[in-house]
Amino acid sequence: MTDEMSNPKRKRRRWIIVGVLLFVAGIAGAAGWWNSSRVDQRFVGTWESSVRRERFILESDGRCFHGLRGERHPGRFVVVKDVLYLLPPRRTGLDGLQQLWVELMDRLKERPPSDQSFQVKEVSAQQLVLGIVHRNERFQYTAYETYVRIDP
């Protein structure tokens, strides 16, 4: 009689374990998809401005380094609707979870992901034209700057 009673418990326990494993696999898959790189390959490369001597190194996994020649400030980048956004680097641990939560809320509320943004006017194999929007109390204007690819 105890064998008959333990058999349904054993089956129920197996189904609970299978359900928990499927749930964990689903969460891991969603996190991987959320953090996967969706980078426009036209932007990947090393770009340098002749005016301000600024350099962008945009990598295919979404990471970037930017700054004046000799400086390398790490970060990430994303291009949305012809606007290039520079984002802070990914954090780990609880700070990383907080960062993911803020990014999720920004996406849901359709807010721009960063204050540091550039309007993309033109992108080709050897040239990238970015506009920097300057705002004043009275007016705003966009200054365009040309970046040249310096990849070997």
Tell me what pLDDT residue 144 has: 86
pLDDT of residue 82: 85
Rg of the chain on CA atoms, in Å: 23
pLDDT score, position 112: 56
CA dist 100 → 23, 33, 61, 94, 103 (Å): 20, 13, 17, 10, 5
pLDDT in tens, 90-135: 666 776 677 667 766 766 666 555 567 888 999 998 999 988 877 6
Q: Which residue has the higher pLDDT, 28 or 120?
A: 120
Give the model's pLDDT for residue 35. Answer: 63
**CATH pick for 38-149 out of 2.60.40, 3.40.1050, 2.40.128, 1.10.3470:** 2.40.128
Distance CA 86, CA 94 (A): 22
Higher local confidence (pLDDT), 30 or 130: 130
Q: Residue 117 phi/psi, 5° resolution?
A: -140, 155
pTM: 0.60
Exposure of 48 by Cβ count < 10 A (0-12 exposed, 13-18 middle, 19+ buried)?
A: middle
pLDDT on residue 101: 73
Task: Kindly report which listed range (32-46, 57-71, 90-104) carries the lowest average pLDDT score.
Answer: 90-104
Give the model's pLDDT for residue 19: 92
